[in-house]
Amino acid sequence: MKDIYVTKSFLPPLRKYQKYLDNIWEGGQMTNQGPLLESLEDRLLDYLGVKNINVVANGTIALQLALSALEIDTGEIITTPFSYVATTSAILWERCTPIFVDINPDNFCIDANKIEGAITKNTKAILAVHVFGFPCNIEKIEEIAKKHKLKVIYDAAHAFGVKYKGKSLLSYGDISTCSFHATKLFNTIEGGCIVAKDNGISKKLDLIKRFGHNDDNHVYLGINAKLSEFQAAMGLCNLDYIDKIIESRKKIANTYDQLLVDIIKKIKIPNEVEYNYAYYPIVLKDEYETLGLIKKLKEKGIYPRRYFHPSLNTLPYLNHHQSCPISEDISSRILCLPMFYGLGIEDSRKICKVINKYLLSVNI
């Protein structure tokens, strides 16, 4: 069996991408909000069913621009310790202080019932993550934000294509951001997007992402967060296959659901959620068992990933430590299994066989 990694970037047929390259060569515009990027934004508006979108260079800068557009440049931001490090990095780069609130062990998202206890006079916003594409407790977070006059930003890096109660998960909060990194469900090689509820904020983001000026009129402090035409071309190609990609991932997830032993904790998709099958996380008994399984899988050429480890509240460069025992526990014993378009069902069965054999042997 060839090596199998946790993910594999989707690439469209080369001839399809080449047609877009021919257009770039003919038109001569490689960046600066070119026609391909504008076309991509229009198609994403339609596909996602949102009213505003700004496609940007990556998912991390999307978070930073969100904070900037909402004029949050100091103070405390309540966030989750269970995410990729970029969520915390964006807060730190904007000179704000992350205040970590522990997670719900049932879906790995921030525990909304613990948020209010972390609010102080310095709190400016809630930055929550739809972990693995599972929705946060949106209603509770909105209620808290209104009560305390806080902004809500959702890091929806994993939530492309996910719907909650019939609406795109990206349409909730003051701003939602997404990642279009090469490893994501939908990719533009590198890239991301920002979905703003308010039209004025969306227009502001459009300026900020390209240095903050229109011609010679400098309006805002901006930065270069533009996406190139080459990346937009990849996005236009890949969007044609997105439904096929999600369907193939669903089949893999169904195989894992059916074949993996019950001693593994698996997350159930809520009834009101139309899921994208971007990840397949499992939670094991303890870290010893987790590391043992990783070793066994690697011996067979299978490479899962410890999404997310370590718990972000334990990062060594933070100025303060906050205890988040549930996140620290889950992060020590969670694995994401291989999940990508092109992973065969037979390969999925082999992965399950290795996992089951190991776990049954250590749980006798």
Residue 89 three-state SS: helix
Q: Tell me which residue has tokens 């080459």.
A: 230
DSSP 305: B
**109, two tokens:** 């998202």
**Whether the predicted model's global pTM rises above the 0.95 cut:** yes
pLDDT of residue 321: 85
- CA atoms 71, 74, 76, 78: torsion sign: positive
Residue 103 three-state SS: strand
Residue extents of the structural domains in the chain: 14-101+108-239, 242-362
For 214, the enclosing helix (H) or strand (E) is strand 213-214
Task: Identify whether the C-beta of residue 209 lies closer than 8 Å to the C-beta of residue 56.
Answer: yes
**43, two tokens:** 């198609």
For 4, the enclosing helix (H) or strand (E) is strand 4-5
Separation between Cα atoms, residue 329 and residue 327, nearest integer Å: 5
Choices 3.40.50.720, 3.30.499.10, 3.40.640.10, 3.20.20.140: CATH for 14-101+108-239: 3.40.640.10
φ, ψ for residue 36 (rounded to 5)? -70, -40
Task: Identify whether the C-beta of residue 150 lies closer than 8 Å to the C-beta of residue 123.
Answer: yes
pLDDT of residue 320: 84
φ, ψ for residue 63 (rounded to 5)? -65, -40
CATH of domain 242-362: 3.90.1150.10
Strands 192-196 and 265-266: unpaired
The residues near 46 (Cβ < 8 Å, ≥ 6 apart) are none
Each of the 364 residues of the chain gets a pLDDT tens digit; together they read: 689 999 999 999 999 999 999 999 999 999 999 999 999 999 999 999 999 999 999 999 999 999 999 999 999 999 999 999 999 999 999 999 999 999 999 999 999 999 999 999 999 999 999 999 999 999 999 999 999 999 999 999 999 999 999 999 999 999 999 999 999 999 999 999 999 999 999 999 999 999 999 889 999 999 999 999 999 999 999 999 999 999 999 999 999 999 999 989 888 899 999 999 999 999 999 999 999 999 999 999 999 999 999 999 999 999 888 999 999 999 999 999 999 999 999 999 999 999 999 999 998 6
- The dihedral region occupied by 231, where left means phi > 0, alpha psi between -120 and 50, and beta the remainder, is alpha
Distance from chain centroid for Cα 272: 20
Separation between Cα atoms, residue 253 and residue 268, nearest integer Å: 11
pLDDT of residue 1: 61
**59, two tokens:** 């998912």
Task: Identify whether the C-beta of residue 284 lies closer than 8 Å to the C-beta of residue 290.
Answer: yes
* Side-chain-facing half-sphere of 1: CA atoms under 13 Å: 19
How big is the CA angle at 168 (ends 208 and 145), to the nearest 5 degrees? 65
Separation between Cα atoms, residue 292 and residue 155, nearest integer Å: 32
Separation between Cα atoms, residue 135 and residue 118, nearest integer Å: 21
Beta bridge partners of 335: 282
pLDDT of residue 339: 98
CA dihedral angle for residue 345, residue 349, residue 354, residue 359, rounded to 10 degrees: 120
Separation between Cα atoms, residue 165 and residue 172, nearest integer Å: 11
DSSP 168: E
φ, ψ for residue 196 (rounded to 5)? -110, 135
